[in-house]
Amino acid sequence: MKLFNQDLPRGASSMSYAGLLERLEILRSTLRWASRLDRPDIEKLLRQANAVRDEVMQLSHKERFVQAVGSQVVPEQPGERRQALLARSFVFEGTFGDNPRLLDALEIAEKAAPTDLPVLVDGESGTGKELMAKVIHANGARADKAYISVNCGAIPESLIESELFGHKRGAFTGAATDRKGKFESAHKGTIFLDEIGELPLQGQVKLLRVLQSHEIQRVGSDETIAVDARIVAATNKNLRKLIEQGQFREDLFYRLSVIHVTLPPLRERKDEIPLLLAYYGDEAAEALKRRPVAMTPALRAFLLDYAYPGNIRELRNLMYRLACLAGDTADIAHLPEDIRPAARTPVRSASPEPPASLAEAKRAASDEAERACLERGLKDVGGTVTELARRWDMNRSHLQILLKKHGLHSKDFRRH
């Protein structure tokens, strides 16, 4: 472990108050969470923790206060938290990004991984839930044991129990032989229960029993079999809402979410988009054996600002599409038609479903009128937002917010 090989800084002056506190926290969490430590290692860690604590105490109240305030004002160096994870030999499994909320999630994963506590990962589609499950497995003591993934939403309701817990020969039509289920296959390892919100209520009861007793019964058998599988579950549904609707058991929710990790959607970590575009642009070029594709400024501006409802998966797929369809340089025209800005259809024809309420109908109509007005205005001024703001006697930044809301780009209205 790298931590042991690092000499502690000698005077308090060599490290900030925040730095010392962080080091103390690392040492303590290593002591708390490491799966197996030999006595000399424990003693060494304790000695290091005591030395750091003494240094903290030696700082005068004033020094602590000034340094703590200073550390809040001075923004963290980019990459610092990631570097700290790396220094602690964290396995990223290809997860990247420096967004604070993503790092929060990774730091929770780091602490949870060495334990056997169940983890619930939630987030919109394509935010990296499965990747996070792999990260948790890879950083735990079970890393060299089985990692079994089950998509609860992809198995017909009648087969789910047999899939999870196995069955005895003759248990139902088609059960020609004894078969072990995913839980038994994950014994000593990790089982990833994807789309847990799709698990039917009957399956939820059985799963709850496994969580309580650490035993399973194959369908059609009375015999109980002990299983030791670490559970990581994922969902893109709001489980609390499903609980309110009676579709998900509250007791199971609390059992599964001892550690709860929420992955932020890409539109809330837009700072990550340039890095992801570069990474997946290169990956796509390599996979398709071609030179990386350049982008026109308009396409780049679109991709940096687009809301990505399908999150990182959508961004990745877009980069593959561009690498496949474009020549040396990709442009807006290479985007799929349904997201291409120029090809956008008005709100009414884009949403064939009738409005849910009168208020919703009013909102949609008002949105549509607002968008049409913005488009016409932009056309009139040849895409010059400042000029439009002046004509309409509006605050420029408010106008920008409205354009953003409708996914309109002033560049697309420039006269050439």
Q: Under the rule (CB under 6 A), what is the footprint of ligand ATP?
A: 94-97, 102, 123, 125-131, 236, 312-313, 316
Residue 97 interacts with, from ligand ATP, Mg ion, none (CB under 5-8 Å by kind): ligand ATP
Residue 175 interacts with, from Mg ion, ligand ATP, none (CB under 5-8 Å by kind): none
> Strands of 119-122's sheet, edge to edge?
147-151, 190-194, 230-235, 119-122, 259-262
Residue 116 interacts with, from ligand ATP, Mg ion, none (CB under 5-8 Å by kind): none
Please identify, among the stretches 36-44, 62-70, 126-134, 197-205, the one whose residues bind Mg ion according to the rule CB under 5 A. 126-134
Residue 212 interacts with, from Mg ion, ligand ATP, none (CB under 5-8 Å by kind): none
Q: Kindly state the smallest distance separating residue 238's Cβ from Mg ion, in Å.
A: 16
Is 129 or 168 the residue whose CB approaches ligand ATP more closely?
Answer: 129
Is 217 or 236 the residue whose CB approaches ligand ATP more closely?
Answer: 236
Residue 264 interacts with, from Mg ion, ligand ATP, none (CB under 5-8 Å by kind): none
Our finding on whether 130 is near Mg ion (CB under 5 A) is yes
Q: 51-59 contacts: CB < 8 A, separation 24 or more?
A: 51/8, 52/8, 52/20, 52/23, 52/24, 52/27, 53/24, 55/9, 55/12, 55/15, 55/20, 56/12, 56/17, 56/20, 56/21, 56/24, 58/12, 59/12, 59/17, 59/20
Q: Kindly state the smallest distance separating residue 196's Cβ from ligand ATP, in Å.
A: 11
Q: Kindly state the smallest distance separating residue 268's Cβ from ligand ATP, in Å.
A: 13
Q: Kindly state the smallest distance separating residue 282's Cβ from ligand ATP, in Å.
A: 13
Q: How far is CA 20 from the centre of its chain?
A: 29
Q: Kindly state the smallest distance separating residue 272's Cβ from ligand ATP, in Å.
A: 7
Please identify, among the stretches 28-36, 123-131, 132-140, 203-211, the one whose residues bind Mg ion according to the rule CB under 5 A. 123-131
Q: Please name which of 268, 269, 242 lies closest in space to residue 120, comparing C-alpha atoms.
A: 242
| Token pair in block for residue 198 | 């799709």
What angle do the packed helices 396-405 and 358-380 form, to 10 degrees? 120
Residues 359 and 365: their CA atoms lie apart, in Å, by: 10
Residue window 147-186: x/- pattern of binding to Mg ion, with contact defined by CB under 5 A:
----------------------------------------
Residues that bind Mg ion (CB under 5 A): 130
